[in-house]
Amino acid sequence: MVQSSAIPIPKLKEFLIVSIQVDLHDKMAEQLQHDILKRISETNAKGVLVDISVLETVDSFIGRTLAETARMAGILDAELVIVGMPPSVASTFVELGLSMGGVRTAINLDEGFDMLEAYLKGEIRHQKISATEGEDVVGDETDKD
Amino acid sequence: MLQNASIPILKLKEFLIVSIQTDLHDRMAEQLQYDILHRISETNAKGVLIDISALEMVDSFIGRTLADTAKMAATLDADIVIVGMQPAVAITLVELGLSMGEVRTAINLDEGYELLKEELVEETPQTDEAESVAAEAEEDDNGSV
């Protein structure tokens, strides 16, 4: 039985942790977006960590919804970081020409948490997420090899 | 199949975070126990936070498995805290006379994290702190003279 976005959003210090463990269908992704924004405003969270380490696929809709959520969260003054993206998801994304609009990513939860703490201390600037697909990202300083 | 059903175990600083979002069947509970213990030994984690806020019921087997896991983790020098238990689950556990052993619980992830952090501070030898306090006291004495 599928519950409507039964994905819990616990708070840890100033941040929310969202662990996505089921393949999201479109309705669920929208529900999750709504839930995340609601929790941000309830808890005054300064950041959101979205863990997708067990997802085997992320389609264009989910990708776009996550990017949108990051922008909406940004308006609520919360920084969203996607953590634990599997290599296969990253390669599919690029091969299909999909874009996440430059949402900040980290290799795992631990790194993402450090990134958010650095952001809170003002060591990293607020991320700018492009509105349209495929546009180059401005202000993304996360270095990747 | 089993891969798909596995529950991610995230590391955050010295602790592991496990968010259980599906109703566990017995096989899965055993797999989770195995995974948690392995991750503890891999990562030298000092504590494990198990979030069961999305679970609407916890049967006797799951309860016992969690309690066993806590004991096993303790022998690996890691504390387990169960967080976010729903009222209905607490009611059912007590009414059915089930016991979770002496597993520690916390109302939410944030409180559980604080609990583990306090434990960690208590466990570490406090000689440094005592010394610095003594040194400060000495300084104060010098200052007043």
Q: Tell me, what's the pLDDT at B132? A: 56
Is residue B130 scored above 70 in pLDDT?
no
Residue A33 lies in a domain: yes
DSSP 3-state of A124 = coil
The CATH number that applies at residue A28 is 3.30.750.24
Q: Tell me, what's the pLDDT at B42? A: 95
Percent of chain B with pLDDT over 70: 82
DSSP 3-state of B60 = helix
Q: Tell me, what's the pLDDT at A29? A: 93
Q: Tell me, what's the pLDDT at A98? A: 81
Whether B12 sits inside 8 A of A6 (CB atoms) is: no
Give the residue numbers spanning the domain of A40: 11-120
Domain total in chain A: 1
Residue A1 lies in a domain: no
Residue A66 lies in a domain: yes
**Between A96 and B128, the higher pLDDT residue:** A96
Q: Tell me, what's the pLDDT at A99? A: 79
DSSP 3-state of B143 = helix
Q: Tell me, what's the pLDDT at B93? A: 87
pTM beyond 0.90, yes or no: no
Task: Give the neighbor-by-neighbor strand order of the sheet with B79-83.
Answer: B9-12, B15-19, B47-51, B79-83, B104-106
Mind listing the pLDDT tens digit for each residue in A46-77? 999 999 999 988 888 898 999 999 999 999 99
Q: Does the beta carbon of B13 lie under 8 angstroms from any beta carbon of chain A?
A: yes
Whether A12 sits inside 8 A of B109 (CB atoms) is: yes
Q: Rounded CA gap, B16 and A138, in Å?
A: 34
DSSP B88-108: HHHHHHHHTT---TT-EEESS
ipTM over 0.90: no
Mind listing the pLDDT tens digit for each residue in B30-66? 999 999 999 999 999 999 999 999 999 888 889 889 9
CATH fold for domain B2-144 = Transcription Regulator spoIIAA (3.30.750)
| Residue A20 to chain B, least CA–CA distance (Å) | 9
Residue A143 lies in a domain: no
Whether B108 sits inside 8 A of A17 (CB atoms) is: no
DSSP 3-state of B145 = coil
Mind listing the pLDDT tens digit for each residue in B97-124? 887 778 899 999 999 999 999 988 888 7
Whether A22 sits inside 8 A of B21 (CB atoms) is: yes
Mind listing the pLDDT tens digit for each residue in A105-117? 999 999 999 999 9
Cα A15 to Cα A44, A45, B30, distances in angstroms: 9, 5, 31
Residues of A with Cβ-Cβ distance to B10 under 8 angstroms: 17, 19, 51, 53, 84, 108-110
Mind listing the pLDDT tens digit for each residue in A72-105? 999 999 999 999 999 999 998 888 888 787 799 9
**Between B70 and B129, the higher pLDDT residue:** B70
